[in-house]
Chain A
Amino acid sequence: MKGKVLACQTMADEVQKVLPPDLDLELLPYALHRVPQRLQSELQKRIDADTDHDTLLFGYGLCSYGVVNLCSERHTLVIPRVHDCISLLMGAREIYDREFAKHPATIYLSKGWIDQGAEPLAEFKNYAETYGNEDAQWMIDTQYKHYQRVVLIDTGVGCREELALYTRSVARFLNVAYDEHPGSVRLLTKLFRGDWDREFVVIPPGRMVMQRSFL
């Protein structure tokens, strides 16, 4: 196998922690999933541009509509059968599904999410620069009013104390509960090792990724 990993910047540290030397890596910018069709077209562009590998491994899940209808004539595409990076960071789809059923109103953070400023506190500061404190607060309230917890997924990358401290400050800012959840690089490790069982969607050359495979 001549393989390459396409992964979201949000998971850069976790991916690099377990990436074997024989796999190439390309990181894509964070937050493309917010316009799912854009994530999809960016991934398809990377697939079409690659002529050096026969297998592409995705540091993505379904990610809204991000991997839907991806296809390649020359590569096997391998995607963890998960909704998004939260499952990847927790180590298994079942763990996230279980947590989601128990506590749907949860914002999950990890080192990558914090580094990218992809959380309410950083967003508030960002909004406030343009709109002032009052409107920024109103926007955050409107966006996050239904959430009840902020949870740090600790995957063992970065300084745990600092990440916990910062995540606590995000919870305090929203006036909701703080909690921690152990993370795991188990799924990423399986992906890179070629251990592709039912936890992965494997698409041979000429076939197309379907959304229903992930639901």
Chain B
Amino acid sequence: MKLKHLALASLAATGLAAGTALAAGTITVITSYPDLMTGPIEAAFEAAHPEYNLEILNKKTSAGVKYLQEIAGDNTADIFWASAPDAFEVLKNGDLLARVEIASEGIPEKIGAYPLNDPDGYYFGFAAAGYGIMWNERYLKAHDLEPAREWEDLTRPEYHGHVGMSAPSRSGTTHLTVETLLQGDGWDEGWAKWKWIAGNFATVTERSFGVPDGVNTGNFGLGIVIDFFGFSSRASGFPVDFAYPTITALVPANIAVVKNAPNAQGAVAFIEYLLTPEGQSVLLDPAIMRLPINPGTYAEAPEGFPNPFEDSSIGATVKFDVEKSGARYNLVNSMFDVMITYRLDDLRAAVGAIRGGREKARRRRQCRGHGAHCRGPRPDRGQPDRRGKKPRSRFHLGLHQEAQEGHRHRRGPPGRGRAGMGCDGGRKLPPRPRTGRQGRRHVTGLPARTGPATPPPSPPPDGEGIRAPGEGDTECPAVIPRPSAAAAESPIACRVGWCPTCRACIWSRPSSRFC
């Protein structure tokens, strides 16, 4: 250090508080929490205990665990401070935590259905967190969507491509979210629901903060996040909001003293301070916004801040089983990655295809008795051309074609506001961004449509739509580029665009460039 301080002394006239450490010394804290959270707590603690100096070391939860394992032989850290209880279980089982006595007052035993502290006394809860859905109000307004408030809502087709989430293997908090739903709905049901939700994903982010970040910037509309991301984003002024679904668990965020800590006394002092009313009220700082575990602190909370000690509906339905979660920790992470993260494109296509098929069946029923405008191309307009290229999707041929047809029924002119027309069923499906191949066009036998007021055609019989050009067909004169993401209606988006004459979707087959 000396060398560097000499070098820095000339540069940094006002260095940080490095030199101010007093007799009781420095407490080294390994934490996954960001500076803006630790900063106010550090300031409050150092004001209350001027004899201590807090040294914060920011690492991701998993990196922090690894760091402690690496330095265990010659430990320099005093405190480990993170959200995920699983990480503390790993450290506890690895004999890397110290068992200490913490004196506190007014802290209940449990929050929701979850015990706050480790029964063996190795780690302690200092705040609580639940999981839920956060959304960008401007984004939803632009796409004419309602906020999703339950997990079930996120499986609905209108959210296709609008949802973001992190992967449980990269983020301890996301792991808890996945695990909560699995425990709340059961293993099979839970995974089924996750796969349906994942079919609506726009992306799986690498960091858990990538989700609130994506929602804040409007990169996607809804995110599955831990509550304080929603509250603090809102407190920072972003046009976002957050809701707890019914199936959620309140889980304590924890803190522990590392084994063989150089300053164990200071570490205990810091934890005790965190649990005092003053320490708890710092959690309500706009940049932090975590649920305090001292019920008295909620008196100071801002309007609309949830109070789990009064509102018993939050987190009451799931009794989070931390042992079960710990036992299958790696399994759940790997399954999520293998089924969802690395196969997201396929999963999205599959979910879109299934919905396309269902939609088609539904519409066909609905169109019965609707009259000519609802009918598809005349059956004598030729047979589908299946000699074309192999479908590009890796999926089963049948699914693929079904998807195309399911899509085709909703073809129409580009532009906004097509929801609610004729047989469309009012579905408004989100963008399906992809790089289109230019110049391939799609055939239908439909007459030109004049405007959005004309009702859309009804679905053709199975297999209709892609056919060899026949006599009397004219080549599509031009292609309207792919419409805006907001107006592209099908989960399997029209790849290239619309023919301005016949309003047909220009799909991707060589045989499809005639009207």
- Whether chains A and B associate is no
